[in-house]
């Protein structure tokens, strides 16, 4: 069985993280970020903590972009030692404001996965629409039902707002992509709010000029589809349009470069069996999911990632390899005859 968090918290600073780093030196860890803010926000990254993490990576590891890591493996037939990759999803402008200056200061490369329709401001990301709608509403006057989703009447406080967001996003992810958009429209109608055509400032994307500037400074701009659907809920033809369309837009605006790809949402149910071959056919050097397990980076078009943000305990677990080792210990335990999972 894996070590408890209490054990890791105790042993990690006493040499446990260094031991894990030695054991995992040939297994690169890929860190995953999404949003950045000037002040700490749950699940986001702030410059203070991000700088501490980037400084730590620069001191103890060899940082790569994901394309750089793939190029190294292709050229040497193996992974580099003590490699760590910082990846950031979606293409929000807060990366340029808060994270990019830190990466520049320490000369640390990274990979930003861009949703090209979002960058072009043809759409705003659908989970943000749910966030925005919930921010407009302080109470629901009568109980309503949208398909299989009941919404009770009452005051909406911050706790309920978080619960509803999670419930609605999970339901949206369970739907085919076209039905997902109909569900979001039905939500807006039921809540009596009108979604703005222009992307609100809080959810603003990067521009192509900003992406070009960052690419010139060593940031890989990878692919993250055109419209950010769950690729587990689209047809093969739709998936091809999303993957190849994203590639073409990146090449058109940023020039042809070696790039990698990130599956939106990135959970096991978001990755159909045919997708890795499609991503490879599109010319991407590799691809990442959004969850960690015992396989780590063993599958080039299904490389696992470790969450990071302002939680320094999670960061140290992820970057050192402790989280990877924990998954491998649990897998090996479960494979033993007669083992039971508690």
- pLDDT for residue 156 is more than 90: no
Residue 277's pLDDT band (boundaries 50, 70, 90)? very high
Averaged pLDDT of the chain: 91
Give DSSP secondary structure letters for 217-283: TTEEEEE--SS---TTSS-HHHHHHHHHHHHHHHHHHH-S----EE-SS-SGGG--TTHHHHHHHTT
How far is 10 from 3, CA to CA, in rounded Å? 11
- What is the model's pLDDT at position 241? 98
Looking up tokens 């780093």 gives: 21
Nearest to 234 by CA among 270, 198, 194: 270
**Residue 333: is its pLDDT beyond 50?**
no
- pLDDT above 70 coverage of the chain, percent: 92
d(CA 125, CA 116): 11
Q: Strands of the chain (E only): list them.
A: 29-33, 62-64, 83-90, 110-114, 139-140, 144-146, 149-151, 154-155, 219-223, 261-262, 287-288, 306-307
When pLDDT is averaged across residues 112-134 and rounded to a whole number, the result is 96
pLDDT above 70 for 14? no
- Which of 68-72, 128-132, 335-339 has the weakest average pLDDT? 335-339
Query: Distance of alpha carbon 144 from its chain centroid, rounded?
Result: 33
pLDDT at residue number 15: 64
d(C-alpha 291, C-alpha 168), whole Å: 21
- pLDDT tens for 218-230 read 999 999 999 999 9
Q: Rounded mean pLDDT of 150-164? A: 86
Q: What is the DSSP letter of 306?
A: E
Give the confidence band of 9 by pLDDT, cuts at 50, 70, 90: low
pLDDT band at 335 (very low <50, low <70, confident <90, very high): very low
For residue 268, name the pLDDT band (cuts at 50, 70, 90): very high
Residue 13 or 62, more confident: 62
Question: Across residues 146-153, what is the average pLDDT?
Answer: 80
Q: Which two tokens stand for residue 27?
A: 């297994």
User: Under a CB-based contact definition with an 8 Å cutoff, are residues 137 and 156 in contact?
Assistant: yes
Of the candidates 204, 211, 224, which has an alpha carbon nearest to the alpha carbon of residue 255?
211
Q: In terms of Cα–Cα distance, which of 330, 339, 266, 306 is closest to 28? A: 306
Q: With bands split at pLDDT 50, 70 and 90, how would you rate the model's confidence at 272?
A: very high
**CA angle, 11 then 14 then 18, to 5°:** 95
Question: CA torsion sign, 296 to 301 to 302 to 305?
Answer: positive
Q: Residue ranges of the domains in the chain?
A: 5-121+203-335, 126-191
79: confidence class by pLDDT, cuts 50, 70, 90: very high
- CATH 3.20.20.370, domain 5-121+203-335, yes or no: yes
At residue 11, the pLDDT reads 52
Q: What are phi and psi of 220, to 5 degrees?
A: -75, 135
Task: Say whether pLDDT at 2 is over 50.
Answer: no
Q: What is the pTM of this model?
A: 0.91
Upper half-sphere CA count for residue 284 (Cβ side, 13 Å): 33
**DSSP secondary structure string for all residues of 128-153:** HHHHHHHHH-SEESS-EEETTEEE--
Distances (CA, A) of 32 to 47, 80, 127, 160, 290: 16, 19, 18, 27, 7
């Amino acid at each position: 069985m894996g070590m408890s968090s209490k054990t890791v918290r105790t042993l990690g600073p006493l040499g446990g993280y260094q031991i894990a780093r030695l054991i995992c030196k040939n297994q690169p860890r890929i860190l995953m970020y999404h949003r950045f803010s000037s002040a700490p926000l749950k699940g986001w990254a702030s410059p203070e903590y991000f700088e501490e993490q980037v400084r730590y990576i620069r001191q103890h590891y060899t940082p790569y972009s994901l394309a750089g890591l793939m190029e190294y493996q292709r050229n040497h037939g193996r992974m580099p030692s003590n490699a760590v990759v910082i990846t950031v999803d979606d293409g929000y402008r807060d990366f340029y404001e808060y994270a990019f200056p830190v990466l520049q200061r320490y000369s640390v490369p990274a990979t930003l996965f861009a949703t090209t329709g979002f960058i072009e401001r043809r759409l705003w990301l659908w989970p943000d629409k749910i966030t925005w709608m919930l921010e407009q509403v302080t109470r629901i006057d009568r109980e309503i039902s949208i398909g299989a989703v009941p919404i009770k009447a009452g005051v909406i406080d911050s706790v309920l707002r978080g619960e509803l967001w999670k419930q609605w996003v999970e339901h949206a992810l369970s739907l085919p992509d076209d039905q997902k958009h109909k569900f979001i429209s039905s939500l807006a109608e039921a809540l009596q709010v009108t979604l703005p055509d222009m992307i609100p400032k809080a959810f603003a994307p990067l521009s192509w000029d900003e992406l070009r500037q960052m690419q010139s400074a060593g940031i890989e701009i990878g692919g993250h589809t055109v419209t950010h659907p769950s690729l587990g809920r689209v047809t093969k033809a739709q998936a091809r349009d999303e993957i190849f369309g994203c590639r073409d837009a990146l090449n058109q605006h940023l020039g042809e470069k070696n790039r990698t790809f990130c599956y939106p949402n990135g959970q096991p149910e978001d990755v159909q069996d045919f997708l890795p071959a499609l991503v490879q056919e599109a010319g991407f050097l590799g691809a990442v999911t959004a969850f960690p397990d015992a396989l780590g980076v063993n599958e080039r078009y299904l490389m696992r990632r470790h969450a990071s943000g302002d939680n320094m305990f999670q960061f140290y677990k992820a970057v050192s390899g402790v989280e990877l080792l924990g998954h491998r210990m649990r897998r090996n335990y479960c494979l033993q005859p007669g083992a039971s999972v508690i």
